[in-house]
Structure 1
């Protein structure tokens, strides 16, 4: 991360704090989805619960890792920066849906929107690290990007199955919690 910060420590901290603010929001989003799933225990929610919990835990690890990176650069992990303020404002709509709506299809739709943004954010950090020649940071960002890509594929599959049920009345089963292979069945 030092190599990225050489050019502008403040801008590097701004980008890291942006991603950190979004990861914090992501943890809250997953917590809410898991809470609603627990209140509506069914075969469907049981099929996906463990994967959703794993994704939530990965979001939390991303949050904690980013906090450590910000601190290692001498920054404040709770500082409001230009980009963290922007992402906080952008997230308000998703947060409003999640906190005020208890319908699982709506929650997963909001989660899908969040995962799309999350993927783009990690991809941007990886590209910036690559351009800065900070290969260690690039590897760390790509590791988290790959986890986010898994989240996106899984949530997209859930939204697809829920939409099929809604539109066609089909009895589409939600993907199992055994990774991508389970989604193929």
Structure 2
């Protein structure tokens, strides 16, 4: 793994070869008279959306307490299964968050980075990782309290798993720099903060004040995570600038 970005023989940009890029752009005019498909990409995607089934469904409550609670809330005009869906989403995301920090900790433990920014340490990163696990446990308890099954992959959990997969892949990229790894963590934490805010609002709307209070404590912890990761990323970028030597600009 590299600890910083270097200048090199990158020729992916169009300005690297003006002669060839001009020929490529001239070739665009050849498409003007070419046959067009009967249906465009946008229309095709729209047709898929019209005919598509939902990503998944919510199962009925699996306990007597859950059945009674669901019926009672339904009579009040409330859809508790929507909250359970979002709880499942948050649980899936927090589980992915713990794995994301596990991957980052593996990087730090390997000692491939010359210097860590600011107050960053294995212990502080491990603390954030442990918070993610604690938040997952909190969500499991909340789902069970409402009569749900925390092992169910809800529709929103399914969607957030796809999001988390991209973050995990980026974190495990062996060529990534420390700053790039921190950028991935910051992206994850930004989603985390916004999602907890939405979950608190939903729990409040459904008269789940106790859960909303517990979720607020989790949100406060996530805000701390975000500020720490943001600070570490800023420090890592500053380190990269300070380490940049004139010889790096000579190419490779």
Taking structure 2 as the reference length, what is the TM-score of the superposition? Answer: 0.61
2:87 is matched with 16
2:154 is matched with 81
1:181 is matched with none
1:148 is matched with 222
After the TM superposition, which parts of structure 1 deviate over 3 Å for at least 4 consecutive aligned residues?
A: none
- CA RMSD in angstroms comes to 2.3
1:64-75 alignment, distance < 5 Å? 64-75=137-148
Q: Find the aligned partners of 1:81 and 1:129 in 2 and give their Cα distance.
A: 17
Q: Find the aligned partners of 2:120 and 2:87 in 1 and give their Cα distance.
A: 34
The 10-residue stretch of structure 1 (75-84 or 149-158) with the greater mean CA deviation from structure 2? 75-84
1:162 is matched with 236
**8 Å Cα contact 2:98-2:132 kept in structure 1:** yes
2:133 is matched with 60
Q: Find the aligned partners of 2:157 and 2:239 in 1 and give their Cα distance.
A: 37
Q: Find the aligned partners of 2:81 and 2:205 in 1 and give their Cα distance.
A: 17
When Rg is computed on C-alpha atoms for both structures, the one with the higher figure is: 2
Q: Which runs of 5+ in 1 are unaligned?
A: 172-185
1:44 is matched with 116
1:123 pairs with one of 177, 197, 201: 197
Q: Find the aligned partners of 1:124 and 1:24 in 2 and give their Cα distance.
A: 18
Residue 130 of structure 1, CA deviation:
2.5
**8 Å Cα contact 2:193-2:219 kept in structure 1:** yes
2:37 is matched with none
Please state whether the residue corresponding to 2:172 is helix, strand or coil. Answer: helix
Q: Which runs of 5+ in 2 are unaligned?
A: 1-65, 245-252
Higher helix share: 1
Q: Find the aligned partners of 2:124 and 2:203 in 1 and give their Cα distance.
A: 30
CA-to-aligned-CA distance 1:99-148 (integer Å, 9 cap, x gap): 22353222111111000000111111111223333321211111000000
For these two proteins, the number of residue pairs brought into alignment is 168
